[in-house]
Amino acid sequence: MEALKVGVIGATGYTGEELVRILCRHRQAKLSYVSGKEERTVRIQEIFPYLQGAVDLECRTFQFEEALGAADLFFLSLPHTVSMQVAPQFLAAGKKVVDVSADYRLKDTSVYEKFYKTAHRDTVNLGSAVYGLPEINRERIRSARLIANPGCYPTGAILALYPGVKAGLFDEQGIIIDAKSGVTGAGRKADKALNFSEVNESFKAYKLFEHQHVPEIDQELGAALGRPMSVTFVPHLLPLNRGILSTIYVRLRKDVTTDDLIKVYADAYRGEPFVKVRPGGALPELRHVAGTNFCDIGLRVNPGKKLAVIVAAIDNLVKGAAGQAVQNMNILSGYDEREGLWV
């Protein structure tokens, strides 16, 4: 089989860098184009010296025509609102697109406008875009031409809640997601608030009730439930590079034990290569998922309160972004879903 040629548009941010790293070890896809924000054209292995020997490719300033001829599938690791200007061109030319931005995740354009402060510019493709969470949408991903790769927070939160919501176990009005993310989640950028000395030895909540990932969680869980949902979501900034740990509080509709709840989840995720339901009430830790494409889930019921706590851990750059994007590529290309995503 001829190698699939893939391009990464936006290869110099954290997600783009991680995409390049994973694709360099992929045995079936071949990285054949990268573009980035560097002012001058420089080889990607000079920007990220650890890639020497693994790849030899110029990192160009993005030009559509040049990119078009260089690859069959494109990962768009671009700022929100930029992707929806680029994706239609690739799609019109018959290419496949995995969009890592938020532009094709929200089906309701009024919600998109509210959270991203701009009108949606590609409602045509928005309709056919598939939300790329393989554990829920694997079949639709297989035949998709445009994947909306999920946000980092939603990936962990939805995987942590989906089986219970679908089984009707939770009071869907009272779901509280207390999420904590490492700093790469904010992107590779100059920002005083992200200066090492501001973040190190500190911790804070931010964007209370108003984070742009809330509607994404509501949309996907609401689809599972069959009616609108509205979670409470409070993100925090952790002084570490990689990882999101979400501690989720749900009120139980039924008297279930910890073992019951674990069984519901273990059944739901049986056979999933990248979701691990921890046995016996064990809880995940970020160090066990950092650098991997895993989502680890731990569950505990407090029977006296009819309350469950669900803890989900992912690496925000891997399962929360680049790894899941490659997982989606693997699915839609008919590869082993785990290709390139070893520990």
186 in Cβ contact with 257 (< 8 Å): no
Question: Exposed, middle or buried: residue 304 (CB in 10 Å: 0-12, 13-18, 19+)?
Answer: exposed
Q: Hey, which residues between 73 and 132 contact a copy of itself (CB under 8 A)?
A: none
Stretch that binds a copy of itself, among 89-97, 121-129, 159-167, 271-279 (CB under 8 A): 271-279
Residue 343 engages a copy of itself in binding (rule: CB under 8 A): yes
Give the one residue of 208, 226, 228, 259 binding a copy of itself; rule: CB under 8 A: 208
In the numeric block, which tokens belong to residue 302? 């407090």
Stretch that binds a copy of itself, among 56-64, 109-117, 154-162, 274-282 (CB under 8 A): 274-282
Stretch that binds a copy of itself, among 1-9, 143-151, 154-162, 302-310 (CB under 8 A): 302-310
Tokens 């399962």 correspond to 319
Residue 24 engages a copy of itself in binding (rule: CB under 8 A): yes
Instruction: Classify each residue of 78-99 as buried b or exposed e, where b means 16 or more C-beta atoms within 10 Å of its C-beta.
Output: bebbebbebbbebbeeebbbbb
Give the one residue of 276, 314, 327, 339 binding a copy of itself; rule: CB under 8 A: 276
Task: Please state the closest distance from residue 176 (CB atom) to a copy of itself, in A.
Answer: 5
Stretch that binds a copy of itself, among 97-105, 118-126, 137-145, 280-288 (CB under 8 A): 280-288
Cβ-Cβ contacts under 8 Å for 239 (sequence gap 6 or more): 183, 199, 200, 201, 202, 203
**Is residue 24 annotated as a catalytic residue, yes or no?**
no
CA-to-CA distance for 95 and 288, rounded, in angstroms?
36
Task: Please state the closest distance from residue 211 (CB atom) to a copy of itself, in A.
Answer: 13
Nearer to a copy of itself among residue 130 and residue 221 (C-beta): 221
Nearer to a copy of itself among residue 11 and residue 148 (C-beta): 11
The SS3 call for residue 222 is: helix
Residue 40 engages a copy of itself in binding (rule: CB under 8 A): no
Q: Hey, which residues between 160 and 189 contact a copy of itself (CB under 8 A)?
A: 173-174, 176, 178, 180, 182-184, 188-189
CB atoms within 10 A of CB 199: 18
Give the one residue of 143, 197, 227, 270 binding a copy of itself; rule: CB under 8 A: 197
- Which of the following is catalytic: 24, 59, 152, 295? 152
CA-to-CA distance for 55 and 23, rounded, in angstroms?
10
Task: Please state the closest distance from residue 339 (CB atom) to a copy of itself, in A.
Answer: 12
Query: Which backbone phi and psi does 177 adopt, to 5 degrees?
Result: -115, 110
Q: Hey, which residues between 305 and 324 contact a copy of itself (CB under 8 A)?
A: 305, 307, 309, 311
Count of residues in the chain:
343
Beta-sheet strand order (sheet of 42-43): 42-43, 58-60, 29-35, 4-9, 73-76, 96-99, 146-148, 130-131
In the DSSP assignment, the letter for residue 2 is P
Q: Hey, which residues between 231 and 260 contact a copy of itself (CB under 8 A)?
A: 232, 234, 236, 238-243, 245, 247, 249, 251
Give the one residue of 52, 85, 118, 123 binding a copy of itself; rule: CB under 8 A: 52
Q: List, by residue number, the catalytic residues.
A: 152
